[in-house]
Structure 1
């Protein structure tokens, strides 16, 4: 359903951000003034995920999965990288055509 149109994305330069990018539909907060294409694609994948799950459910799921992964891996960065939303985004952020071929709820494949 959402693959037919380009996702709205408002990029906000946020130099004090502790990560490279952070998405809260429709805003993408980026630490760099000129973020690389792969990062914008990564954040667009998160925008699609947020539309599918709903913003509130996305963040509840994200935080709960992070906590489970933190117990599982006992390492913050490894826990973050193994969240299903992040696994999908990192696996596909270098493919500029991914969102046009992505199936709905594709993040479940990475769970």
Structure 2
């Protein structure tokens, strides 16, 4: 009986789960800049509002593209976050519906 009581009094309780929250405006600004540098986007940029993700490296994402590319085609990317942490950038996929979102100039 004492042996079982010893195991029950362990102080190694796992931390409580806290779901990721949307990134702050400053974290989005920093993450978009970092992502744009990684994929070598230059010139003016456009983004969409932050949305919750159901896939990818983060729980939230914003879409990113060049506002006036030198080439005719504008590739679209998704920039991912968990809380204020930039998690990465990847080419957007159809399920993210970036093209259906309103785009705004990135400052």
More strand by share: 2
| TM-score, structure 2 as length reference | 0.27
**Relative contact order, higher structure (CA 8 A, sep 6+):** 2
Larger radius of gyration: 2
| TM-score, structure 1 as length reference | 0.27
